[in-house]
Structure 1
Amino acid sequence: MVIARNSDEGVAGRWLRQPTSPEISVRWFGAVGDGRDDTSAIVRALSAAARSPEKVIYFPPSARAYAIIQPIIITSHGISVRGGEGAVIEQRTWGPPVFDIYNADDVTISDLSLVMEGGDRSEIPTTTVGVNGPTYNAGVSSSGNRTIVRNVSVRGFLSGVKLTTYDRATRTYSGTRVGNIIEDVQVSEVAFGLLTTAQDDLVVTGLTGSYELFPYYPAPPHLIYMSGSSTTTAMTLSTNITIRDCEATNGRGGSAFQFGGIRGGRVTNCTADDCDSLLSTGDCRDMTFTRISSINDANLYAGSLAVPDDASSNIIFQDLTMEMSETNGNRLILLGGVDCRIENADLRVRRSTFPCGPDIAVVGERSSLRNIRISGIDSAGGSTGILYYEGSGHSLDAVEMAGMGIGIQVAANVRDSDLSYNPNLITVNPLLGAPARRVGINEPSAGVDPGIHVKRSERRVPYAFSGGIRVEAGSVSHALISASGPVQILDTRDQTAGMDLTFEITNITTRSLPIVWDRSFRFASPLLTVSPGATVSISFTRTADHIWQER
């Protein structure tokens, strides 16, 4: 390879370099790595690498950072940029990235630390006008296909890595990008660890670090932010994404993971530790989240885990673990969308007041909850564990709760749902007294059949009679009453249409005892007395018009 010689005193002309490796070293072109500007030398090395067979440019270890004052723009396909042990590139101009991969495919950036030195985060960089605005400020910005960013650390930019479809020549978003890979990237002092639009077959593995709000860019920050929507032309959808083994720590200002406009994907083994919230989706379909967890979850927003929109469907959460760090009344999970479900969840919540929460708010259609455990870990209060706020076709199976204010609450406009629970596995905070209960049902207006089917595991509860008996129908299937005086049966609490309830009344005296029923109980043949020493049994079914009808 014939290249211009480095400046040597008294030597002129050109010389022939016969490299012993396929890599083009930036040192050959005058880059030193001593903290002074190496931009021109790096650009020359990149140009030489683009003409070489292997297309590899190498940054050797250096005493200080390789400093640049402009972006290193890569427009040739197949370029590979690699750093030696401890190699650092430092961008000194506030706004542009270190590497701008502009419509170039099959580019790899690896084994480097990328640092933004200086810059006022309260001001929009003027150097980004016409090149995708302030989000151009990234360690690596790519509009190519099959970009690989591997074993790279990024500090101080708005985004660690930005994957975009933006064409700055036309100033529009165009098409999708395919096959990009982000692997073992660490970020700090960024608003977004990874910021993407319109990606197909994206694979992200081992992205870790913190995120924070940038004053000049007030949108909520995230470790991973995949933006997109089926209702806009600026940002098209992403398909078939794979994200695994990612961890956000000390995230402030937004959720750790934000997904928008995804059609098909798997997110596995991802954690938020000491972040403001965990995860949110919007306009996403056919996604599975497995082994997702939050530790020291501040839960500062409308749902630390949220599927808030009707446009999302078939979102599945499996093996979910969440633990609140802050005592507050915000809902922990907001489950909207259509055909979304949570399977195997362990939630630890801090609630200092009652009422508050709920811990899970269901607002979508055909939502499914199965094998859910909710533990109140603040002795002063109690939340509503699960609130079915609206929608139809919901199902609930295998739920365990402790320290609740209300275990399960069903609003009056919920329809056609099957809710199954074991009242023995739902305990309320005893300090809350009478307002606390296992199940609360808000029935619709008289004559409306909501189609709610509440299935309780059989629970036979003894009552020592001492005045009027009020049975909590949501937690009792058989009320066993030992009567020593006149029996008065008041209307029950927490009932819903279709619920069954049986009374077994035993007269433990030597005289007949009268039974007085609330007017909501209706009989084929009224049961008004119980003989001395006798036991009588009578069963009722709750109707849609608020009546207990004898069966």
Structure 2
Amino acid sequence: MEYLLMVNRLVAVDDSNYRLPEPVVGALATDASNPETPLGAAISTAAGIIDGLVDDDTTDNRERIQSYLDRGGSWVVPATTGRYRVHGALEVHLPGTSLSAWGAPIRQSLNGQSLFNVTVPDVTITGVDAIGSLGPLDITGMNAAWEMSITASRWTVVNAYTGAHRLSIPWIRGRGFDSVVRVTSWNRSAGANGTRVKDVSVGTLLCENVEFGLVVQGTERFSYAEIKGSYKCPVSGPRPPHLVYFSGTSNENIDASCGRAVAASFEGGVVPGQAFQFKGMSGGHVASLLAEGCPGVLNVMDSTDFTIDFVSSLGDTCVDQYGSIALSQTTTLSNVRVGRAVVRMTSDGIPFRLVSGSDSRFAELDFEVNHTTNGTLHDVSLAGTRNTIDSVRVRNVGTKAWRGLGLWAGAGHRVRNITLEGMRVGVDVRGTATDAIIGFNPTTVALHATEGLAKIMVAPGSAPSLVLPGTPPAASRLRVVDDFTVAPETLAGFGPGWTVQAGTWTVDYAAGEAGETAGTSQSNVYRDAGAANVTIDVDVKLRGLPGVVARRVSATEYIAVYLSTTAVTIAKRDGTLTTLATQAGAYQQDRWYRLRVDVFGAVVSVTINDVPTLTHTLTGGDETKFGTSTLHGLFSSSSAGVSKFKNLRIAAI
């Protein structure tokens, strides 16, 4: 050993070959290895080793460790195959203090205490493997202010307060604690909230049998590299637990830099909670959030200018009405960005819900759900204002079905690429969701085999400002495009913009067909096309007298053009239905025909399957009475309940 060689040379400087006698060497070695001897204490102190610790998991080592921390400097808890018991909190109160405890498990045996309290800057704590409760986790007595008060916190490994700037925790593990690392702006001496804690960094944090892995509130430039473990709701837990929890309501956490967090499981308990919750974020970035077997993956509240690259939740058991991924505000939620989110639900639950907030964007949502009930809730829903989803895919593998995408409320939402499978209703646009642009494509929306109702459902209030891919631009001559796939909120009858004048009309939204089902004479429905001179194109299935109405003035005043098995007829209803012109022909019952009617000025022209068939010029005052109305629609009479219409187009001439 170096110190023995040094002693040999000191006692025999005139003889380089001299060596101490073996008994002396043995005595020196014994003293050097015993920190209770002057020589051992000096060597231990020089090496930064905390001496005099007992690793029997019974003896209280708190005072011994505290005596070294009171000196400041850098210290090492010696590695052991046993375990060091500490009964009470260790106070780190001198700036620049460093403690390393690699291979030295420590158990905190006093309820209601942290293992380390840090109130000063430039502290390093690493290699700590801490054990709290040896049995079920119990935080009975925790009060509502627990995020900011140590007196209301139980079983925290490292508790950092205002002033603990640049705290570094390269590696830490906690088991049987309420939380492993807690960093808040609480001022212990003042007993009140203080200034933000700046530049705290956590390297690797591991945990199990905890309510929270990490709790943060009131920080600036906080960072972590990796957090891994499980979490649970303990006995008498007052609120939902999370593996990672940033708390706040308004800019409490500024410019956080978060790496990878993995919630391996939810260990159960009284109240479930999403694996990760971020509140009060101002700026900041998260690389990835991964969960498995958890009751939800992510909750973001009251945050601005905050970005998350990737979110994944496999075997998701969420049943909360706000969803596995939930975003909302009590103050402000805006400009939140999520790159890609993947959720695979095993429960009959909701994968995504944005309750409130504005100007947030989600690049890719990829969800699989497993519905066992027929519901009116949505797998994906947007409220707030001006929120955007670039791409969304929802696949339902359940025996029952819900509604896929819902624009619940608010103006200016944008949803671009939509792929839905196994839906009861594909897209649902509520009346309070206005100025929306939706990339709806009927070919990428598949209804449930037995429970499907409609690929898209639109409430009347949203219709004037809803923009679908087939919606004509304002400058277009095309004024109405209706494939009869858009359902109203009642899931009965025509979509927004239509008025039923007479008859019993139904719409098969899945097939894209409208029909008059009662065989009522002179049944009709109409809508405003914004032009009197129009071309009306529609496919009609011949049964009875199917056709169109043009320039409707009132319930008993309109132009009607209809088809029968023997002729094409132009008629007017002016109290009673009167034939104006007819052209004989042979048409087959139950066959589809493309009917085109051009109404320009006083001239009405009819084309069947692209063949010009009949023309009539309105005279005798008809050209005036039926000259300016912009209301046009469908006509059916004596159809025996099986007249059908599809692919309606109305264009201005």
Give the TM-score category using the shorter length: 0.7 to 0.9
SS in 2 for 1:32: coil
* Deviation per residue, 1:109-136 (Å, 9 max, x gap): 111201114587153389x9x9632226
Residue 67 (structure 1) aligned with residue 85 (structure 2): yes
Q: Which residue of 2 aligns with 1:339?
A: 359
Question: How big is the shift at 1:486?
Answer: 13
* 1:361-440 equivalent positions in 2, closer than 5 A: 361-378=381-398, 380-432=399-451, 436-440=453-457
RMSD between superposed Cα atoms in Å: 4.2
Q: Tell me the SS of whatever aligns to 1:255.
A: coil
Change (3 A) 1:342 1:362: same
CA shift, 1:547, in A, is: 7.2
The corresponding residue for 2:67 is 44
Equivalent position to 2:337, from 294, 304, 316: 316
Counterpart for residue 327 of structure 2 = 307
Contact kept in structure 1, 2:114 and 2:158, CA below 8 Å: yes
Pick aligned residue for 2:200 from 160, 174, 180? 180
In structure 2, the partner of 1:527 is 561
Matches within 5 A, 1:36-435: 36-48=59-71, 50=72, 55-84=73-102, 86-102=103-119, 104-118=120-134, 121=138, 123-124=140-141, 132-135=150-153, 137-143=155-161, 144-230=164-250, 237-251=252-266, 252=268, 253-301=272-320, 302-309=322-329, 311-328=332-349, 330=350, 332-378=352-398, 380-432=399-451
- Aligned match of 2:56 in 34, 40, 43? 34
One-letter amino acid of the counterpart of residue 458, structure 2: I
Does the Cα contact within 8 Å between 1:423 and 1:457 map onto a contact in 2? no
Q: Deviations over 1:322-374 (max 9, x none)?
A: 1111124x464335210112211110011112234310121111111121110
1:12 and 1:362 map into 2 onto residues whose CA distance is: 68
Shift of 1:424: 0.2
Q: Which moved more, 1:191-200 or 1:32-41?
A: 32-41
Cα distance per residue 1:126-153 (max 9 Å; x no partner): 9x9x963222631111120111112211
The one-letter amino acid paired with 2:426 is: G
Look up the equivalent residue of 1:426 and give its one-letter code: V
Contact 2:219–2:252 under 8 Å retained in 1 = yes
1:76 to partner: Cα distance: 0.9
TM superposition shift of 1:262: 0.8
Query: CA 1:245 to 1:496, structure 2 compared with 1: closer, same or farther past 3 Å?
Result: farther
1:233 match: none
**2:440, 2:115 → 1: CA distance?**
56
Distance 2:542 2:376 in 1: 43
Once the two structures are superposed, what CA deviation does each residue of 1:418-446 show, in whole Å capped at 9, x if it has no partner?
A: 1121110000012125xx110001113xx
Q: In the TM superposition, what are the counterparts of 1:482-497 in structure 2 within 5 Å?
A: none
| Unaligned residue ranges in structure 1 (runs of 5+) | 1-5, 231-235
| Counterpart secondary structure, 1:245 | strand
**What letter matches 1:42 in structure 2?**
I
Q: Distance in 1 between matches of 2:285 and 2:243?
A: 17
1:455 aligns to 2:479 (yes or no): no
Shift of 1:288: 1.1
Q: Against the structure 1 CA distance between its residues 282 and 544, is the aligned structure 2 distance closer, same or farther, given a 3 Å change threshold?
A: farther
How far apart are residue 274 of structure 1 and its match? 0.7
- Conserved 8 A contact 2:550-2:631: no
Kindly state the Cα deviation for residue 162 of structure 1 after the two structures are TM-superposed.
0.4
Quickly say closer, same or farther: Cα 1:38–1:490, change in 2 above 3 A.
farther
Aligned partners of 2:506 and 2:514 also within 8 Å: no
Label 1:164 to 1:527 Cα distance change in 2 as closer, same or farther (>3 A): same
Q: How far, CA to CA, are the matches of 1:37 and 1:61 in structure 2?
A: 17
Partners of 2:315 and 2:211 lie apart in 1 by 20
| CA apart distance, 1:412 | 1.3
Residue segments in structure 2 that go unaligned for 5+ positions in a row? 1-29, 473-480, 486-503, 569-584, 588-592, 600-628, 635-648
* 1:520 to partner: Cα distance: 11
The one-letter code sitting in structure 2 at the alignment partner of 1:244 is: G
- The reply on whether 1:536 has 2:567 as its aligned counterpart is no
CA deviation after TM superposition for structure 1 residue 474, in Å: 8.9
8 A contact 2:142–2:153 mirrored in 1: no
Deviation at 1:305, TM superposition (A): 0.9
Scaled by the length of structure 2, what TM-score is found? 0.69
Give CA-to-partner distance per residue, 1:95-118, whole Å, 9 cap, x none. Answer: 11111112x111111112011145
Cα 1:489–1:239 change in 2 (3 A) is: farther
Which whole-Å CA distance do the structure 1 matches of 2:362 and 2:124 have between them?
38
Aligned equivalents of 2:598 and 2:382: distance in 1?
32
- Which is worse superposed, 291-300 or 517-526? 517-526
1:125/1:327 Cα in 2 relative to 1: closer, same or farther (>3 Å)? closer
The 1-side partners of 2:463 and 2:632 are apart by 10
Q: Distance in 2 between matches of 1:71 and 1:109?
A: 14
Q: 1:167 to 1:431 in 2, by over 3 A?
A: same
Count of residue correspondences: 506
Structure showing greater Rg: 2
For 2:168 and 2:521, how far apart are their aligned partners in 1? 77
Question: 1:454 is paired with a residue of what secondary structure?
Answer: coil
The 3-state SS of whatever aligns with 2:63 is helix
Residue 17 of structure 1: CA displacement?
A: 5.3
